[in-house]
């Protein structure tokens, strides 16, 4: 990017930046260039192409270059722009929370299908507990997509709960989704609002022994607390054990899992007396979701 600032237009700047990112081995080079420039220019990505001859002014160019330097340093795009789209909705994210992944969208989709197939709870208002809520994307998305639903999101991180509440305010869902501090691995864990119709969770499941081997973009930027546990199964064991007192009779549990952990999680749900246990695969054909149901 050596042209004088006044000579840059959107189209040329995107092309040059994408090529530069690609030469440096940056993942999703074109997408990254688009998202960063759209963020600086306060445009939607589509508008970059509708206004491809728009000049990029010196102050905009300097800001764009600064964001590009951050991206070259490995900082995730979502933390640079402060936003990640999830299930068609925008969520604020920063280093306090895990970046929502497409696999978790499958968890939300499956959980909504289960609630719809079960019908309303006895009170006529489905209630869910989102354990390890992080940004709040699971609880908030389910509440937005199912307008009668009420949700409680819990997390051990007070900082993560600040982000979740910001997202609830952004989406106008604060009257139906509440958040509270809580440790799902604590045997005395007692969230407000029980019993629930569903317990849904994407808990930490990466063993601490694998932390050093993770991709630098994850290891150096995303919160370790949201990703790792000492061995790998602690959260699943705790959630399965407490399902009987947190869920109503016939209530469901839906969990995102490590691709290699399906057998262990299924065994834990069986030991907890769960019925109708199902393992669902993700887009790559890997085991990704396990669900079960309490006896009625």
Q: Annotated binding residue at 132?
A: yes
Q: Annotated binding residue at 264?
A: no
Q: Annotated binding residue at 23?
A: no
Q: Annotated binding residue at 205?
A: yes
* Residues with Cβ within 8 Å of residue 115, at least 6 apart in sequence: 126, 128, 142, 146, 149, 197, 198, 252
Instruction: Give the CA distances from residue 53 to residues 1, 4, 38, 86, 89, in Å, rounded to whole numbers and listed in that order.
Output: 17, 16, 14, 31, 29
- H or E, element range at 89: strand 89-92
Q: Annotated binding residue at 134?
A: yes
Q: Annotated binding residue at 79?
A: no
Q: Annotated binding residue at 202?
A: yes
Instruction: Name the token pair of 97.
Output: 């929370």
Q: Annotated binding residue at 203?
A: yes
Instruction: Give the CA distances from residue 158 to residues 102, 155, 181, 216, in Å, rounded to whole numbers and listed in that order.
Output: 25, 7, 7, 25
Reduce the DSSP state of residue 289 to 3 states and report it.
strand
Quickly tell me which residue has 């989406």 as its tokens: 171
Instruction: Mark the binding-site residues for S-adenosyl-L-methionine, compressed into ranges.
Output: 132-136, 155, 202
The annotation places the binding site at 132-136, 155, 202-205
Binding site membership for substrate: which residues? 202-205
């Amino acid at each position: 990017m050596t042209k004088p600032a006044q000579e840059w237009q959107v189209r040329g700047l995107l092309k040059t930046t994408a090529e530069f990112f690609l030469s440096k081995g940056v993942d999703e080079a074109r997408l990254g260039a688009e998202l960063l420039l759209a963020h600086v220019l306060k445009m939607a990505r589509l508008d970059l192409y509708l206004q491809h001859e728009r000049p990029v002014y010196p102050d905009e160019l300097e800001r764009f270059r600064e964001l590009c330097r951050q991206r070259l340093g490995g900082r995730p795009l979502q933390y640079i722009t402060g936003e990640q789209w999830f299930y068609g909705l925008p969520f604020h994210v920063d280093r306090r929370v895990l970046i929502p992944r497409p696999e978790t969208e499958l968890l939300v989709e499956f959980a909504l299908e289960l609630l719809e197939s079960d019908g309303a709870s006895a009170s006529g208002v489905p209630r869910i507990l989102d354990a390890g809520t992080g940004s709040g994307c699971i609880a908030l998305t389910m509440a937005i997509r199912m307008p009668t639903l009420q949700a409680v999101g819990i997390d051990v991180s007070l900082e993560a709960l600040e982000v979740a509440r910001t997202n609830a305010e952004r989406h106008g869902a604060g009257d139906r989704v509440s958040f509270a501090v809580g440790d799902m691995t604590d045997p005395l864990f007692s969230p407000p609002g029980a019993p629930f119709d569903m317990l849904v969770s994407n808990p930490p499941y990466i063993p601490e022994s694998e932390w050093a081997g993770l991709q630098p973009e994850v290891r150096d930027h995303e919160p370790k607390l949201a990703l790792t546990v000492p061995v790998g199964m602690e959260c699943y064991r705790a959630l399965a054990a407490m399902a009987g007192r947190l869920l109503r009779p016939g209530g469901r549990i839906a969990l995102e899992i490590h691709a290699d952990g399906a057998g262990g999680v299924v065994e834990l749900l069986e030991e907890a007396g769960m019925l109708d246990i199902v393992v669902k695969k993700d887009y790559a054909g890997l085991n990704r979701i396990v669900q079960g149901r309490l006896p009625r």
